[in-house]
Amino acid sequence: MTREFGSDFGRSRFVPPAAVVREGTDGTVEDIMRRAAASGRETAVRGAGRSCNTQTLSPGTVLHNARGDAEPRLAAGGRLVEVPSGITWYELETWLNRHGRANPVLPSFLGLTVGGTLSVGGFGLGSIRSGLQADQVREIELVDGTGRVLRCSGEENTELFRFALGGLGQVGFLRKAVLRTVPYRDAARVSRIEHAGLSDLVAFMPRIAAEPGVSGYFGMYDRTSWYAQVSWAADASPEPPEQSVPDYPLRLHDEVGRHLSPLLQGETHTNLWADYVLDEAGLHTFAATLEPLLDASPLTDTLVSLYFLVIERPAPAAPFVFAPVLDAPVLYGVGVFASAPRSDDRAVSATRRVQRRLLETCAEAGGRPYLYGAHDLDADLLKRFYGAPALHRLEELRAELSLTHFNRRAFGGVRPPAVQDPSGTAPL
Ligand SMILES: Cc1cc2nc3c(=O)[nH]c(=O)nc-3n(C[C@H](O)[C@H](O)[C@H](O)COP(=O)(O)OP(=O)(O)OC[C@H]3O[C@@H](n4cnc5c(N)ncnc54)[C@H](O)[C@@H]3O)c2cc1C
């Protein structure tokens, strides 16, 4: 039991927790949160544990929140759905499809919890028209360290709403979310476009962003070929012609699950996955740094794939504090997925150095990292990405909400500087 909860998808560290607790068997979430804060022990929430930077690890308590018994509830005539955060996207999407509805944006792999993905942001092929998964959220329910329940939305507790979505659970346990849905389409019209290489693919991304008939996009380098898959709105006349693909998001999930099965099930590899989000100028700067690295060690051995997304957020877009969002009309996501055998220290360290170089390039290019990833953050980079005032306010909120021991590893090993406690005496 503790073996499973002592590690995450990154498998870079093993930290066995002293206890694993669940809502129901170990009391209500309010009780669990209150007890955790009062004990002074570190507590971390774990959904499906697919993050890569030790965020869900704790030597104290792990609050395990993935649950197969979570029941969604439709509202507003089906245009909204209320879900407990421990449900997976797979369970939610198949449930919605049975009710004639669908999620506007889904990740490529659906074995992730709603709470875990909203806590990092959430992107997928639908992001080209609908933005982040966090952009689909109408309301959330947070539980703080005193056991208080806080409803947050664009109208109520708006600051917490902006810190919670994409904020890795640092301002409370995300218990429920109310999400936008769209009508279910049983098949998608999909075209595959071949690319000559990275430059060709990157040049294509702004063009596809400007194409009104496109409803979905992802680009891929799978070490064999460079290509994009574009899906089309019902009334578009695509060129090249498309194929009809039934239940496209579920089909993609199956493909990703099959392709990555050794990494998802096995424990032999350290997964140094990271995604970077940039504006158009930043995308070109980033690609210029990445291109030569692809033909050199260690990526010639450790690269699994590159994954590209276009993100256009619906207006008005909430200024989430830690989600990978930028003040630009169109954003570009680049995923650099690398894995090395855990026994191969040299390959692991060299791949870490490459990801660190890409992280610095991302900072120089005015981008942001996607915080589920294996990012080697330090205090200086945190400040460059988010600014000192946001980091300071985060620590203030955590002190006010009795959360100073909760989800401490959100940024990997680093924390922003401590603030004085509300009584103004000792640093926390
Ligand atoms: C194979 C694979 C494919 C992926 N594909 C995509 C993709 O297409 N698009 C995309 O956007 N992302 C993708 N990701 C990244 C993924 O969205 C994140 O890793 C996400 O965090 C996974 O959700 P989880 O349930 O595993 O979260 P966990 O790893 O369990 O948790 C993530 C973070 O959120 C916190 N947290 C989790 N639940 C709660 C809660 N209820 N309340 C408060 N805090 C909480 C945790 O403490 C942790 O800090 C992929 C990851 C993998 C491994």
Q: What is the 3-state secondary structure (H, E, C) of the chain?
A: CHHHHCCCCCCCCCCCCCEEECCECCECHHHHHHHHHHHCCCEEEECCCCCCCCCCCCCCEEEECCCCCCCCEEEHHHCEEEEECCCEHHHHHHHHHHCCEECCCCCCCCCCEHHHHHCCCCCCCCHHHHCCCHHHEEEEEEECCCCCEEEEECCCCHHHHHHHCCCCCCCCEEEEEEEECEECCCEEEEEEEEECCHHHHHHHHHHHHCCCCEEEEEEEECCCCEEEEEEECCCCCCCCCCEEEECHHHHHHHHHHHHCHHHHHCCCEEEEEEEEEECHHHHHHHHHHHHHHHCCCCHHHHEEEEEEEEECCCCCCCCCCCCCCCCCCCEEEEEEEEEEECCCHHHHHHHHHHHHHHHHHHHHCCCEECCCCCCCCCHHHHHHHHCHHHHHHHHHHHHHCCCCCECCCCCCCCCCCCCECCCCCCEC
Number of residues assigned to the chain: 428
Q: What is the pLDDT of residues 350-359, one digit of tens each?
A: 999 999 999 9
CATH code for the part of the protein at 187-378: 3.40.462.10
Question: With bands split at pLDDT 50, 70 and 90, how would you rate the model's confidence at 426?
Answer: very low
Q: Which pLDDT belongs to residue 417?
A: 85
Amino acid at 367: G
Structure tokens belonging to residue 236: 């578009």
Average pLDDT over residues 82-92: 98
Instruction: Provide, rounded to the nearest whole percent, the portion of the chain with pLDDT above 70.
Output: 97
Greatest Cα-to-Cα distance within the chain, rounded to the nearest angstrom: 68
What mean pLDDT comes out for the span 111-140? 98
pLDDT category at 428 given cuts 50, 70, 90 is: very low
Q: Contact at 8 Å (CB) between 181 and 102?
A: yes
Categorize the per-residue pLDDT at 1 as very low, low, confident or very high, splitting at 50, 70 and 90: low
For residue 193, give both structure tokens. Answer: 């476009």
Supply the pLDDT for residue 425.
38
CA of 19 to the centre of ligand 1 (A): 21
What does the pLDDT read at residue 110?
A: 98
For ligand 1, the distance from its centroid to the CA atom of residue 22, given in whole angstroms, is 18
Q: What is the rounded CA–CA span in Å between residue 331 and residue 45?
A: 29
45 vs 62: CA distance, rounded Å: 6
The amino acid at 275: D
Closest residue by Cα to atom 13, ligand 1, is 107
Question: Does residue 424 register a pLDDT over 70?
Answer: no
Cα-Cα-Cα-Cα torsion 196, 197, 203, 206, nearest 10 degrees, comes to 100
Q: How confident is the model at residue 420 (pLDDT cuts 50, 70, 90)?
A: low
How far from 253 is each of 233, 249, 423, CA to CA, in Å?
21, 6, 50
**From the CA of 400, how far away is ligand 1's center (Å)?**
26
The stretch 379-404 carries a mean pLDDT of 98
Nearest to 248 by CA among 397, 124, 99: 124
Give the CATH architecture of domain 73-183: 2-Layer Sandwich (3.30)
In this model, does residue 423 exceed pLDDT 50?
A: no
Residue 2 pLDDT class (50, 70, 90 cuts):
low
How large is the average pLDDT for residues 199-215?
A: 97
49 lines ligand 1 (CB under 6 A): yes
Q: How confident is the model at residue 419 (pLDDT cuts 50, 70, 90)?
A: confident
Q: Which of 112, 168, 310, 397 to mutate to test the pocket of ligand 1 (most atoms within 8 A of CB)?
A: 112
Query: Between 345 and 2, where is the model more confident?
Result: 345
CB atoms under 10 Å from CB of 346, counted, come to 10
Please determine, for residue 386, whether its predicted confidence score (pLDDT) is greater than 90.
Answer: yes
Integer Cα distance of 351 and 338 in angstroms:
7
- Asked if 66 and 113 touch (Cβ cutoff 8 Å), the reply is yes
Of the pLDDT bands very low, low, confident and very high (cuts 50, 70, 90), residue 427 is very low
Q: What is the rounded distance in angstroms from the CA atom of residue 321 to the CA atom of residue 313?
A: 15
Q: Is the CB of 176 under 6 A from ligand 1?
A: no
In this predicted structure, the answer to whether residue 325 has a pLDDT above a threshold of 80 is yes
Q: Tokens representing 353?
A: 């150095």
Q: Is 108 in the pocket of ligand 1 (CB under 6 A)?
A: yes
Global pTM? 0.97
Q: For residue range 129-152, what is the model confidence (pLDDT) as tens digits? A: 999 999 999 999 999 999 999 999
Which atom, in ligand 1's list, is nearest to the CA of 88? 25
Q: According to the model, what pLDDT value does residue 418 have? A: 79
407 lines ligand 1 (CB under 6 A): yes
CATH number for the domain running over 2-64: 3.30.43.10
* Cα–Cα distance measured from residue 118 to residue 151, given in angstroms and rounded to the nearest whole number: 15
Please check the confidence at residue 22 and state whether its pLDDT lies above 60. yes
Distance 280 CA to ligand 1 centre (A): 26
Indicate which residue's Cα is closest to atom 47 of ligand 1: 45
What is the CA(77)–ligand 1 centre distance, in A?
29
The residue extents of the domains of the chain are 2-64, 73-183, 187-378
Quick: pLDDT tens for 151-176: 999 999 999 999 999 999 999 999 99
Can you list the pairs that 155-160 forms with residues at least 24 positions away whose Cβ atoms lie under 8 Å?
Answer: 159/397, 160/397
* Ligand 1 pocket, residue 122 CB under 6 Å: yes
Decide if 399 contacts 141 (C-beta within 8 A): no
